[in-house]
Amino acid sequence: MSKTSDYTALGPLVGFVYQIYYFLYCLLTIQDGETVSLEKIDDVGSETGEKRTYFQLKHSINSKPSAVKRMTERDTDLWKTLNMWVSIVKKQGDEAVQRQWIANSEFVLVSNKNAENNRFFELVEAYKKDDSNWDELEKFVNNQAAKDSKKESEGEEKKNIYLYTKNVNDYALKKEMLKRVTVEFESDDELRAKIDGVIQYGKMVPEKRVSDVRYMLIGEITDSVVKGVTAYTKESFYAANVSLFEYMRTRKFIPLNRKVELPERPMEQTFVKQLQGVDAPRCNDMKEIIQLTEQKLRFENDYRAANKSAGAQEQRQFEVDMHTEWKNIFDEQNDGLTFMSDEQMKRTAGKEVLKAVKKVHLKYDQEDIGPSESNGCYYHFSDGETPRIGWRVDWETLYNGKEWTTE
């Protein structure tokens, strides 16, 4: 498949992501009495009493990722959007009803396309500031319709542009409607930055956790859309997410369940060899080992993030407590055993150590990190070239273990 084909295939997906991001931004800035929706009145919609705002989103990707597409005066996305809004308003009733509908509406075209030097948008903005500029804008729209009428037979796209421009130009209330049109240009990075700004400064989430909150909100919203939840009031959005904001503001250790990159040879990890050394259940099952490896890697990611948010004292105390829990269990289960003890006895005792340790619920700065993260922690410290803990009485000799130190 060519690169052009690849980008073409990606277009709808990237466009949907852009739409979800804009939906999230509107939800984060929702006002009292407002309802924000997805694919109800438009791509994104806002309704407050009889007032409403239509947000039509047009996203484009370029075959050259560093390049930015330009929205021209005769861009299909532009005239298709205006034509669609005309059709929506016409369906509301007679001309008097339509006029009132327009007066209570705002029409916003949101795009990542660059519109610098776009004469149409310049004329719209000038008209919105001063009614005396209407004649020039009307002349421009007339010229666009006339220009495209000559090319009606030159292919499907040219025919569509002709129909769009003609419908807009022929609309009796185009003067009133164009007064209510606004264009927003948001690159993917700009939109992401706006979302992050609201999360950090509006929701008071620490900067280092902002991107995590954004990812979690996007996931939650996408899941809700799949389940049919496509509209929120300020109260319902707050109720659905207040615990997340509070959680991310106050907790130091946060299980984020991120996707992790597995090692090429999972079975060769030291912590796996230690499990095999005590005949742990399914320790030779690749599916089981992958699951345990994911627990270990997620703990490592979350532990690093927690240590950045907390400090050396919290980290040291966590490791001391973790090691103490392990040491107490290890000493009890291996009591009376030595390096010279029977192999099966060492395996059996080590298996009991593992079984008991997996029931330990560790705390980070007095916050319970949960069973999955606790298990991942012990797999982490029993892994590597020089593991810090083990299960068998002879683990240090077998796996090049390192004597524990908290220095």
**130/230 same-domain check:** yes
Q: What is the pLDDT of residue 154?
A: 60
Regarding whether 242 and 350 lie in a shared domain, the answer is: no
Q: What is the structure's pLDDT at 151? A: 54
* 345 in a structural domain: yes
The pLDDT of residue 246: 85
Give the pLDDT of residue 278. 97
Are residues 60 and 92 both part of a single domain?
yes
The strand pairing partners of 232, in sequence order, are 36
pLDDT (0 to 100) of residue 294: 95
For residues 391 and 306, give the distance between their C-alpha atoms in angstroms, rounded to a whole number. Answer: 27
Dist. CA 103–CA 217, nearest whole Å? 34
Does residue 180 sit in the same domain as residue 84?
Answer: yes
Report the number of distinct structural domains present in the chain.
2
Q: pLDDT at position 207, please?
A: 86
Residue ranges for the chain with pLDDT beneath 70:
1-11, 62-68, 148-155, 405-407
pLDDT at 1: 42
**Does a structural domain hold residue 255?**
no
192 neighbors 214 (Cβ within 8 angstroms)? yes
Of the residues 214, 246, 278, the one at which a domain ends: 246
User: What values do phi and psi take at 54, rounded to 5?
Assistant: -95, 125
Whether residue 125 is found in the same domain as residue 165: yes
Query: What pTM value is reported for the model?
Result: 0.73
**DSSP per-residue string spanning 241-297:** HHHHHHHHHH-SS-------PPPS-GGGSHHHHHHHTTT-TTTT-HHHHHHHHHHHH
Please say whether the beta carbons of 137 and 73 come within 8 A.
Answer: no
Given 184, 218, 246, the domain boundary residue is 246
pLDDT attached to residue 65 = 54
Q: With beta carbons less than 8 A apart as the criterion, state whether 119 and 140 touch.
A: yes
- Phi/psi region, residue 172 (left: phi>0; alpha: psi -120 to 50; beta: rest), is alpha
pLDDT recorded at residue 7: 46
Instruction: Say yes or no: 194 and 324 in one domain.
Output: no
- Render pLDDT for 93-110 as a digit per residue (tens, 0 to 9): 999 999 999 999 999 999
Question: Is position 17 within any domain?
Answer: yes
> Of the candidates 192, 213, 246, which is a domain's last residue?
246
Cross-strand partners of 368: 363
Q: 330 lies in which domain range?
A: 266-399
